[in-house]
Amino acid sequence: MAESGGAPPVARASSPPLPNSKPHAGWRSRGYLPHLDCSDATQHIVFRLADALPAGLMAAIERLPPDQRLGAADEALDAGAGSRHLADPRIAQSVQAALLHFDADRYRLSAWCVMPTHVHVIVTQMEGWPVSAVVHSWKSFTANAANAVLGGRGRFWAPEYYDRFMRDEAHFEATRAYVEMNPVAAGLCAAPHDWPWSSAAPR
């Protein structure tokens, strides 16, 4: 696992793709904020359960100014609406294991936290593995594993995800602290190391 204390590499233009690798998207916009997808970019990624943000609440968040949407979504996710399937230790453990499985092969993992309704991850991208492909692999494997535990079918994860690249070391450290403090802020534990499905937990 990549050491969490080091500063992220500075994002740079992607080098020529490796044979059979997937192309990186570079700069792009999903209609409200620009995003960067290139090798060596360090990203904060958030993905959530399909029912974690009810349609009415999601619509209200989308009506907010772009710079307020993330904070409103975080607050709503921490409130714990919906099924909260990630609070099941069996499912939380399988998600954490999936994040760790391809560390140093598809990305370099710096920090993570599996919350009851959503997941935070900080990774540095590797050549040939764009953010969309990495998130898809996490969701596909863990949805199948979770549905096997729950005996259910249907959509487990929401289709979209949030990503933002780390601009510099200060941005990285602030985001890492936020990710590992999320269970404390949500009232789930007293200290970051008390939450077992987090990079802050002793292991």
Q: Where are the domains of the chain?
A: 26-194
Q: What is the pLDDT of residue 71?
A: 81
**pLDDT score of 199:** 98
Model confidence at 17: pLDDT above 70: no
Reading the block at residue 191, the tokens are 């200290």
Comparison of pLDDT for 176 and 32, the residue scoring more: 176
pTM, to two decimals: 0.81
pLDDT for position 55: 85
* Rounded Cα–Cα distance for residues 178 and 75 (Å): 13
Render the burial of 160-180: b for 16+ CB within 10 Å, e for the rest.
ebbbbbbeeeeebeebbebbb
Q: Is the pLDDT of residue 33 over 60?
A: no
pLDDT digits (tens, 9 = 90+) for 127-172: 999 989 999 999 999 999 999 999 987 899 999 888 888 999 999 9
Q: If we measure between CA atoms, which residue out of 47, 46, 30, 43 comes closest to residue 156?
A: 47
Beta-sheet pairing, 118-125 with 42-48: antiparallel
Q: Per residue in 117-135, is it b (16+ CB within 10 Å) or e — as a string?
A: bbbbbbbbbbbbbbbeebb
For 81, the 3-state DSSP assignment is coil
3-state secondary structure of 108: strand
Q: How far apart are CA 119 and CA 69, in angstroms?
A: 17
Confidence of residue 100 (pLDDT cuts 50, 70, 90): very high
Cα separations in angstroms, 162 against 13, 42, 120: 21, 14, 9
Mean pLDDT on 83-108: 96
* CATH number assigned to the domain covering 26-194: 3.30.70.1290
Name the token pair of 103: 């560390």
- What pLDDT score does 13 carry? 34
Q: Which pLDDT score, from 0 to 100, does residue 25 have?
A: 52
The pLDDT value recorded for residue 170 is: 97
